[in-house]
Amino acid sequence: MEEDESDRYRAPALDKGLDILELLAGVDAGLTQAEIAKKLGRSPNEFYRMLDRLVKRGYVTKPEGDRYSLTLKLFGLAQLHAPVRRLVSYATPLMRELAETSRQANQLAVFDRGAVVVIAQQEAPGYWGISIRVGSNISLFDTGSGHVLLAFRPQEERRMMIAEAARSAEQTEPPAEFFHRLDQIRDRGYEIMASLQTAGVHNLSAPVLGPDGRAIAALTVPYIGLVNQTSAPDKQQTIDLLLSATETLSRLAGSDVRPVPRGGKPA
């Protein structure tokens, strides 16, 4: 019997791992090892070593007891390739215009494997400004970008992101008040907070939304008060400029969701 061309170079272990990932991708509450085996029509013992490796490599987690769930690692890997390059190409002229009109630097960041990663940044047009190197990993818990990326995600996704960040940074998960702050940010449409890394800087952050209304990126202006430049926009005017930029970028990303009306005040 002639071998099927598609099966000539089969890799059973790889197939088994992909079967697990594809199965867990369609399940919200996770599955036990026995449930995975039953749904895939195999013995539970066949999956023990594969699940162990997927957990150790960060693709699968066991947040509650013996139930396995996907992490966001695959999502993060996907973001770092063509979609992210396309997002940066759309964002670059808008970020340049925002820097010119606000007289402030700005940066674009996404969530990737437990950290917030800066994927683009624009220098301030004058002598003074705060810039962060592209590729830098910043905290999910104490930055404006991190807060916005969490605030504009569903509750279950927030918990997964926080668990992943806490694990990768060896930090404890934030208190209940933190989740209340995220809800306030979502209602307001943006974050405004004193920088926890640099004195005298206020992080102004707003989401870039995808078609499903989730934050696919955060655009942040590390706002500094400019002395003897009375024509420079103040903090509220800069927020308005930031929101205009993120609304335009969200539309380019396919979203028709507008998180906050013009003027920066919640509806």
Q: What is the pLDDT of residue 267?
A: 33
Convert the pLDDT of each residue in 190-225 to its tens digit.
999 988 777 778 999 999 998 888 899 999 999 988
Q: What is the pLDDT of residue 265?
A: 44
Q: What is the pLDDT of residue 228?
A: 64
Domain spanning 5-70, CATH class: mainly alpha
Q: DSSP assignment of the chain, as one string? A: -PPPGGGTT--HHHHHHHHHHHHHHT-SS-B-HHHHHHHHTS-GGGGHHHHHHHHHTTSEEEEETTEEEE-SHHHHHHHTSHHHHHHHHHHHHHHHHHHHHHSS-EEEEEEETTEEEEEEEE--SSS------TT-EE-SSSSHHHHHHHHTS-HHHHHHHHHHHHHHTT-PPPPHHHHHHHHHHHHHTSEEEE-SSSTTEEEEEEEEE-TTS-EEEEEEEEEEPPTT-TTS--HHHHHHHHHHHHHHHHHHTT----SS-TTS---
Q: What is the pLDDT of residue 8?
A: 66
Q: What is the pLDDT of residue 244?
A: 96
Q: What is the pLDDT of residue 1?
A: 40
Convert the pLDDT of each residue in 60-85 to its tens digit.
888 667 888 888 777 666 655 567 77
Topology annotation, domain 76-252: Beta-Lactamase (3.30.450)
The domain segmentation of the chain, as residue ranges, is: 5-70, 76-252
Which residue ranges of the chain lie beneath pLDDT 50? 1-3, 262-267
Q: What is the pLDDT of residue 128?
A: 72
